[in-house]
Amino acid sequence: MAIGATLNAKRRRSRIHLGSGGLIYLIVSGVIIAAAIYTQANLLFWAFGLMTGGLVVSALLSWQMLRNIRVQRLLPSHGVAGDPLIIRYHLTNRSWLPVFSLTIMETWGRGWRAWKRTGPIAMSPPLLKARPFGWVLHIGPNQTIQAEAPCWPLRRGELKFEQMILATGFPFGILYKVVTFEQQTETLIYPHLYRVNRRMVYSLAHHDPSGRKQRERGGGTEDFFGLRAYRPGDSLKMVDWKRSARTGVLVSREMTQPSPPRMMILLDLQRDAETTAPGNSNGNSQPGSAPDHADRHTRLERAVCLTASLVCEAHFHGYQVGLAARGATCPSFPMHHSLPHRTRMLEALARLNTTPADASRAETPGSAVNPSVVVHLGKGERVINDQQGGGTILLGATDIDQFVRAFDGSGDTLLTANTRQLSRREELEAD
């Protein structure tokens, strides 16, 4: 679905641009007219006349074809870092002339090549791998079509679009008519989503010492809950025949239903196992051992990606998932299982600010439930047992390869630099 794209883009300006072959065309035309004047050969004058006519026809056709074109950008509701993002354009040709060989490009700032100086590509690190580029072969008179332009987000965050460039050099590619449209829209890019090891997901579930909790209400198939009057459609296996024989009224047994496994995730941006002394579990770093800013930023992003992957994987397996953050401004989410709940958690992680100024402000998780999983910036996996018989598992984002894997059909390949990341866009939309 599109975000903020209910109206057509506003037409800003149009101009004629000399194509790459246009300069050669003009040089050859100049050589021909010079030779024609020097030799007074009629054939050369005819050739120069044909080339001049082609130049005029190219300018008139390209100008007229894009005179009444309308465009509307349609953005998806979200994207995933590392997965292709498809941008769609709603194109309408209101002219009596068809449009051929139309290119669509996104631009930020001013100028024909302004995308090199501003926008998501010029960021450090860049948000997009390359600018979106689309191509349309033909749009008939008074016809409306939909075009696509793929792009590749590299990291999470808000991806904002400003202007579109429509250009055509039909029929000869000498002169290009360029029209700039302005439509400010944005979409949200989720963090990288990896496939988490199934063994890891099962070990992270938060259980009571006695096992899976039972809800104090009927409607399940587990333990005995109580008796109630028979309802049409009840299984005959659930009828209490002894009680029914004594009372003369059919009575059915009602069973309890189990609650799904739970997982409360804490993203701790203050705990760093690499700079924490052995046995120090409060996350206080020793002086003089802090890593540089670039390395910390990389581990911050890995921690966010690991947290988002755990949220998606736990939701996929039917877990009730909660989320809280420490050391960053992020809302706390109680444990719940629903698609809107998962979407809100992913949006919060996508907008999470991990700058040093923001990470220096410690925040206590808003949920009253103790976290069952803590994702920190250090290395390794460690379990801290509590007095109630449960435990909290600490996952270091630096060793993310130990916890996630790439999807290759078998599900046994660990994530390395040579394996492809799992495409999770289709799975997010299918849930």
pLDDT, average across residues 228-256: 85
Query: pLDDT higher for 207 or 162?
Result: 162
Q: How confident is the model at residue 1 (pLDDT cuts 50, 70, 90)?
A: very low
- Residues across the chain: 431
Q: What is the mean pLDDT of the chain?
A: 78
298 touches 291 (CB < 8 A): no
Cα distance between residue 32 and residue 47, in whole Å: 8
**Of 201-205, 267-271, 273-277, which one has max mean pLDDT?**
267-271
Alpha helices in 40-97 (DSSP H): 42-65
How confident is the model at residue 187, as a pLDDT? Answer: 94
How many CA within 13 A on the CB side of residue 230?
17
391 touches 397 (CB < 8 A): no
Q: How confident is the model at residue 191 (pLDDT cuts 50, 70, 90)?
A: very high
215 touches 257 (CB < 8 A): yes
Q: Give the distance, in angstroms, between the CA of residue 27 and the centroid of all CA atoms in the same chain.
A: 48
For residue 275, give the 3-state DSSP assignment.
Answer: helix
178 touches 296 (CB < 8 A): no
Q: How confident is the model at residue 403 (pLDDT cuts 50, 70, 90)?
A: confident
- Find the distance separating the first CA and the last CA of the chain, reported in whole Å: 16
Q: What is the DSSP letter of 116?
A: G
How confident is the model at residue 349, as a pLDDT? Answer: 94
Query: pLDDT higher for 254 or 190?
Result: 190
Q: What is the DSSP letter of 367?
A: -
Look at 54-68, 201-215, 245-259, 327-341 and tell me which has the smallest mean pLDDT. 201-215
Q: Domain segments of the chain: what residues? A: 10-190, 195-207+261-430, 214-258
Cα distance between residue 261 and residue 205, in whole Å: 6
How confident is the model at residue 198, as a pLDDT? Answer: 72
Q: Which of 331, 379, 395, 329 is nearest to 359 (CA)?
A: 329
Query: pLDDT higher for 348 or 428?
Result: 348
What whole-number percentage of the chain has pLDDT above 70? 74
How confident is the model at residue 355, as a pLDDT? Answer: 62
How confident is the model at residue 253, as a pLDDT? Answer: 84
Q: Which of 309, 282, 26 is nearest to 190 (CA)?
A: 309
How confident is the model at residue 285, as a pLDDT? Answer: 43
262 touches 206 (CB < 8 A): yes
Q: How confident is the model at residue 256 (pLDDT cuts 50, 70, 90)?
A: confident
How confident is the model at residue 420, as a pLDDT? Answer: 42
How confident is the model at residue 244, as a pLDDT? Answer: 87
Q: What values do phi and psi take at 231, rounded to 5?
A: -120, 140
357 touches 349 (CB < 8 A): no
Has residue 62 got a pLDDT over 90? no
pLDDT, average across residues 233-243: 85
Alpha helices in 77-133 (DSSP H): none
149 touches 106 (CB < 8 A): yes
302 touches 400 (CB < 8 A): yes
What pLDDT, in 10s, does the model give residues 103-113? Answer: 999 988 765 55
CATH of domain 10-190: 2.60.40.10
Q: Which of 166, 170, 148 is nearest to 97 (CA)?
A: 170
For residue 6, give the 3-state DSSP assignment.
Answer: coil
Helix H or strand E segment including 115: none
How confident is the model at residue 277, as a pLDDT? Answer: 38
Cα distance between residue 246 and residue 6, in whole Å: 68
How confident is the model at residue 308, as a pLDDT? Answer: 93
How confident is the model at residue 272, as a pLDDT? Answer: 67
Has residue 413 got a pLDDT over 50? no
258: cis peptide before it, omega within 30°? no
Q: What is the 3-state secondary structure (H, E, C) of 7-37?
A: CCCEEEEEEEEECHHHHHHHHHHHHHHHHHH
Q: Which of 281, 329, 283, 325 is nearest to 307 (CA)?
A: 325
How confident is the model at residue 307, as a pLDDT? Answer: 92
pLDDT, average across residues 366-373: 66
How confident is the model at residue 278, as a pLDDT? Answer: 40
For residue 268, give the 3-state DSSP assignment.
Answer: strand
